[in-house]
Structure 1
Amino acid sequence: MFRKRRVLFFLVVALAGVALWLYSRRGPYIADGSVLLVNLQGSYPEAPPEGIWAKLLAPRETALAELLLTLRKAGKDARIQGVVARIAGLDIGWAKANDIRDALFALRLAGKRCIALLEDEVGNANLSYYVATGCERVYTAPSAQVALRGLIAHYLFLGGLWEKFHIEIDVEKVAEYKTAGDTLAGKEMSPPHREMANSLLDSINELYLGTVAFSRGLAVERVRSIIQEQGPSGPQQLLDSGLIDGAKHLEDVWLELGVDRDHVVLENTYERVPATAVGLHTGPKVAVILGAGTIVLGESQHTASRSLAGAESLRTALSEASDDPSIRAILLRVDSPGGSALASDIVWRAVEGARRKKPVIASFSDVAASGGYYIASASTRIVAQPGSFTGSIGVVFARPNVRGLLTDWGIHVESITRGRLAYLDDITTPLDAEGRARIREDVERTYELFVQRVSDGRKLEKGQVHDVGRGRVWTGAQAKEIGLVDALGGFYAALDLAKQEAGIPAEQDPELVFLPAAKGWWQTLTEGVDSKLLHEMPRFLRELARAYPKGLPQGPATIMADHFWVQ
């Protein structure tokens, strides 16, 4: 009797396993004629927060790649007749907005209905509206006070703050457009800074107005007049100006589409539909490597409060992808304002080495500037959205002198050195002329290396690189005109170029392999735990840790920032 029960138990377990396997391959049930509801809100990070506390305490953030795949699956799924995008509280830049808008517009090209519902409660909603124009119809909630009043850019200057605390900031930079030091130590825009800021805002504004005009069937100058002169707000003014199609609640949208509750598919449900179930991700492999956050030495780290692109993590991932014969191409997705010059150069070399073995296509998100552009310049091709911010080929050095602050607090500091220039690392000693000259030499040498790397990677003369460098930031549209990027487009435009470079047939959709691979449950659980603490753990847990194949990770390393931060 016991033996029969045991056989029955294992049979039930086996059947359950088969059922789970089938479910994982086919996903949840989706009725024919369904409509997908997506809530577009939040920041859509390239690399979502990792670590046990982020997973347990912070709200789950959808990665941009996840959202784009969800919309792409809907475009291929015969069971989905359309998508409704509720837009409220987007916290993204113009490049991510480009990517999301492109994905919505692609649904229309695939023959799907696409309706946007703006539910921003109040305020200047230019970016949310820009995303909404990817849809065939745009509505606002009847009580939403959505306003379109034109673009504005803010710049903060902290020099006056440090003065109040008697802190001096010494800045050396190359060259005149490298404004990070001005922001830190200055009190107002320099003429080059103002020139660059106006140029960037003009470029984004023309992108915005031109896209709205195309989407709404209006002349660009008409849209310019509506938004910049009239500044419409509220459903009626927006409707009268031709910028929206009406004011509706979500329930009214369902009535327009003729669907009931059983035919509405929520985003978190549809995410579980495998890409392979609709014919995607069935082709050769393409590696996707994320360079997201400030570029630093060591390992990558992504938390709710910061994102670091670690040179060691990126080097390892690039090496793994380039050595794997099953991976045909590499897509390097960059969303970084820069960081350590040394770390950037390490990653540049890894990208250059990978490019010798297979195509490496760089894809720019919101920001790929300074060190972010540095690492991408070694790729085979570079693709940026028109609204990406890139370039900033330059170097800045900033050094605080806190002696005045310490004196105010009654703290006296005396330093003893061995070496005439040892004081350069002492933030309680002001720079003299010799020290400043030495730092200037180091900054200029780092800039020359930066220019050389871009020259080598982009196959440009050094003089050409300097002409478009000097620390100047460009939009993706501007960068295309001056040769810093090869093509305009988003994640999937870069993927198409990777397919082309790797000789993958256009009709095949590559399987995407994200590197570094996602962390296992044990590594996530013990993230940031210092190995010394293991001595305080119960014996059985210590033995479990030792038995774990990769061992426990060490605690977070102290990152000694070098003098040069490419920002």
Structure 2
Amino acid sequence: MVRLVFVALANLLLLIRTLLGLPFRLLASRHRPTYVRFRLSGDLAYRERRRSRWRWGLRGVAPEPATVSSLESFREALGLLAKDPRVQGILLELEGLAVSSAKKDELVKQLMAFRSAGKRVVGWAVSVDNLGFQVLCAADEVLLAPAGRVDLVGYAAEATALGEGLARVGIQAHFVRRGAYKTAPELFTHERVSDIQQQTLEAFLDERYAELVNAIAGGRKRSPEEARALIDAGPYSAQRAVAAGLVDALCSEAELPARLTPRPPEERKKDEEEPEEPLEAMESWLAALPFPPVKWRPLRRRPKLGLISLSGMIVPGRGSSGPIGPKTAGSDAVVKAVRAAGRDKRAKAVVLYINSPGGSALASELILEAIQRVARKKPVIAYVDQVAASGGYMAALGAQEIWSSPHAVVGSIGVFAGKFEASGLMAHLGIHRTLLTRGENAGIFSVSRGFTPHERASLEAEVEETYQAFLAHVAKARRRTTEEIHARGEGRVYSGTRGLAAGLVDRVGSFEEACRYALERAGVKTERFELALYGGAERRVSLLQLLLSGARTHLYAFCPTAWALTEQGGLEPRDRFD
């Protein structure tokens, strides 16, 4: 009853504010923009985080008015503009766009839906790379600044082997692994990159390259052969990009209004000494609507969908979230978040967002057990848009279904363990250590020597036991035999598409589709729902702490490095969904 009173008062205030502004909006409606400007920059959130306006003032980092903050807000804005007969289209500015492949696909999908409503999309950039150019290929017209560039060069990935370099400074890496495809220790043990590591990377390069070729062929109306030739001839200056047909024309930012909304010659001559007004952002269009959409407070609360983030290397304890030092997912923090989502009666279902390359086997199993308990009470869907491998994949097994984007990294069912020996480095520095033990394996963690035959045998047995337990977890969750999972295991990694074919993934789709499906499994069918994030890291950890902890023998369920292919071959983890 109290809620009804507050909702009624809130809606009454909204109505009064709307009516008071009506005369001003009627005056402004005659000048409602025909093109609305949007700016895509950095990484976009999946959904809007509600922030107080005054926080921007304190931080001094308020974004430009046209900057898109989330895929959700962009989709809603395009939906409103598509219904306005006065609106001809949008201007899409790209500046340093850095989203995952899954988010890029969602942007392209939204732009194509907007075009199908009879509206135009005009893309503009100063400098654009492979990712940004794929987004621009979804536009009707592509414009580039006269001093701009199109860094269309294809994809590269650099694999590194540090074995010889570590040996030169007196450090030896001693690792035991289960599976020829569990190549993570090779970074420290091998002098050269192995054939298996190279083949693994090339499989992902082939998929990303094919996607880039298809985007250029479809967007610029070229054959696949012509698209590949265009990539081979990159990068491009602005003039070369126009000549090659990658962009339609060169246009400075100041010239954009005149190009999109041309005026009669007499008006241009009259105002030729006055600068063109910049294109309006979405806020200006909304302010010029006589009856803008009002977000009325619903009498009933929206359905609540729980969201749990498992991002970074999985470690025991609380984990960390930076900004200084690497991001880790602590088992204590994640388990607490899972339990909180399970206890919340308003959360009808849970989405487990995973962007983790794995980590501690023990911590991964603790997280898996917690997720399994919640999944017995309510629907839990795991979603991967970048990487869920080994420990990350193990955690996903607790969900009823695993969803993935097409180019995410999944799998890597395997185990390795080891330590670094620094006896050579200590001798070079004049450091002398004497190891005294009581017990055959008492010195197994020592960095002053390698493994004894007895210690290595013990470690191999533990790694094998952990691997068999991993196989059993996957076999049970995926309803397969351990032999079938072993054939897909031993460290093999898959893209989301290949993981679907291998039976390691249930569906390939978007984050929004996974959210709606989770609610549908709970019997809730709605496009509007409240996304509630549970948990978060409680402290920070430095890179030095991780390196020091790596000097001891640990069991890992996967390589501690998450990677994403870029046009420069960079390996960079990132995630954002809030």
Per the normalisation by structure 1, the TM-score is 0.77
Measure how far apart 1:90 and its partner are. Answer: 3.7
Q: Map 1:47-196 to 2 at 5 A.
A: 66-78=69-81, 81=87, 82-108=89-115, 113-120=120-127, 125-196=129-200
Question: 2: distance between equivalents of 1:111 and 1:297?
Answer: 53
Measure how far apart 1:330 and its partner are. Answer: 1.0
* Aligned with residue 343 of structure 1, among 356, 363, 387: 363
Is 1:408 matched up with 2:428? yes
- Cα pair 2:354 2:383 within 8 Å, conserved: yes
Is 1:502 matched up with 2:522? yes
Identical columns (%):
28
Question: 2: distance between equivalents of 1:293 and 1:282?
Answer: 33
Q: What amino acid sits opposite 1:252 in the alignment?
A: E
Is 1:563 matched up with 2:554? yes
Is 1:516 matched up with 2:530? no
Q: What amino acid sits opposite 1:307 in the alignment?
A: K
- Cα pair 2:142 2:247 within 8 Å, conserved: yes
- Cα pair 1:297 1:559 within 8 Å, conserved: no
Residue 293 of structure 1 corresponds to 312
Residue 360 of structure 1 corresponds to 380
Question: 2: distance between equivalents of 1:292 and 1:187?
Answer: 31
Measure how far apart 1:312 and its partner are. Answer: 2.0
| SS of 1:77 mapped into structure 2 | helix
Measure how far apart 1:83 and its partner are. Answer: 4.5
Question: 1: distance between equivalents of 2:158 and 2:212?
Answer: 18
Question: 1: distance between equivalents of 2:328 and 2:540?
Answer: 15
What are structure 2's unaligned runs of at least 5 residues? 1-8, 50-56, 263-276, 560-578
Bigger drift between 398-407 and 139-148 goes to 139-148
Question: 1: distance between equivalents of 2:553 and 2:74?
Answer: 42
Q: How many residues align?
A: 500
Q: What amino acid sits opposite 1:277 in the alignment?
A: K
- Cα pair 1:37 1:85 within 8 Å, conserved: yes
Question: 1: distance between equivalents of 2:315 and 2:34?
Answer: 46
Measure how far apart 1:421 and its partner are. Answer: 0.4
Change (3 A) 1:492 1:330: same
1:137-181 deviations in Å (ceiling 9; x for gaps): 332222112131222111122112211211100121121111111
Question: 2: distance between equivalents of 1:300 and 1:84?
Answer: 42
| SS of 2:350 mapped into structure 1 | strand
* Aligned with residue 264 of structure 1, among 275, 281, 294: 281
Question: 2: distance between equivalents of 1:44 and 1:413?
Answer: 52
1:24-62 deviations in Å (ceiling 9; x for gaps): x99x999754765444333558999xxxxxx99897899
Question: 1: distance between equivalents of 2:220 and 2:179?
Answer: 42
Measure how far apart 1:515 and its partner are. Answer: 1.6
Question: 1: distance between equivalents of 2:14 and 2:208?
Answer: 47
1:309-339 deviations in Å (ceiling 9; x for gaps): 2222222222222232221211111111111
Question: 2: distance between equivalents of 1:346 and 1:112?
Answer: 51
Question: 2: distance between equivalents of 1:409 and 1:239?
Answer: 60
Bigger drift between 255-264 and 194-203 goes to 255-264
- Cα pair 2:40 2:92 within 8 Å, conserved: yes
Residue 427 of structure 1 corresponds to 447
Q: What amino acid sits opposite 2:501 in the alignment?
A: E
Change (3 A) 1:478 1:401: same
Measure how far apart 1:197 and its partner are. Answer: 1.7
- Cα pair 1:85 1:115 within 8 Å, conserved: yes
Change (3 A) 1:76 1:105: same
| SS of 1:423 mapped into structure 2 | coil
1:272-307 deviations in Å (ceiling 9; x for gaps): xx9983999974111121111111222243222321
Q: What amino acid sits opposite 2:205 in the alignment?
A: L
Q: Cα RMSD (Å) of the superposition? A: 4.0
Measure how far apart 1:363 and its partner are. Answer: 1.4
Question: 2: distance between equivalents of 1:308 and 1:511?
Answer: 26
1:514-563 deviations in Å (ceiling 9; x for gaps): 2227x9xxx9xxx779xxxxxxxxxxxxxxxxxxxxxxxxxx9x989871
**Higher relative contact order, structure no. (Cα contacts within 8 Å, ≥ 6 residues apart):** 2
Change (3 A) 1:18 1:91: closer
- Cα pair 2:95 2:126 within 8 Å, conserved: yes
Measure how far apart 1:18 and its partner are. Answer: 8.1
Question: 1: distance between equivalents of 2:124 and 2:80?
Answer: 22
Residue 295 of structure 2 corresponds to 277
Question: 2: distance between equivalents of 1:344 and 1:60?
Answer: 38
Question: 2: distance between equivalents of 1:46 and 1:403?
Answer: 49
- Cα pair 1:87 1:118 within 8 Å, conserved: yes
Residue 218 of structure 2 corresponds to 214
Question: 2: distance between equivalents of 1:302 and 1:108?
Answer: 39
1:158-213 deviations in Å (ceiling 9; x for gaps): 11221121110012112111111111222222122122122121122122222332
What are structure 1's unaligned runs of at least 5 residues? 1-16, 49-54, 530-555
Q: What amino acid sits opposite 1:166 in the alignment?
A: G
Bigger drift between 126-135 and 165-174 goes to 126-135
Residue 332 of structure 2 corresponds to 312
Question: 2: distance between equivalents of 1:258 and 1:278?
Answer: 34
**Runs of 4+ in structure 1 displaced over 6 angstroms?**
28-31, 45-48, 55-62, 278-282, 558-562
Q: What amino acid sits opposite 1:473 in the alignment?
A: V
Question: 2: distance between equivalents of 1:417 and 1:56?
Answer: 58
Q: Map 1:370-389 to 2 at 5 A.
A: 370-389=390-409
Measure how far apart 1:225 and its partner are. Answer: 2.9
| SS of 1:492 mapped into structure 2 | helix
Is 1:197 matched up with 2:201? yes
Change (3 A) 1:58 1:251: closer
| SS of 2:127 mapped into structure 1 | coil
Change (3 A) 1:221 1:238: same
Bigger drift between 219-228 and 178-187 goes to 219-228
Change (3 A) 1:185 1:317: same
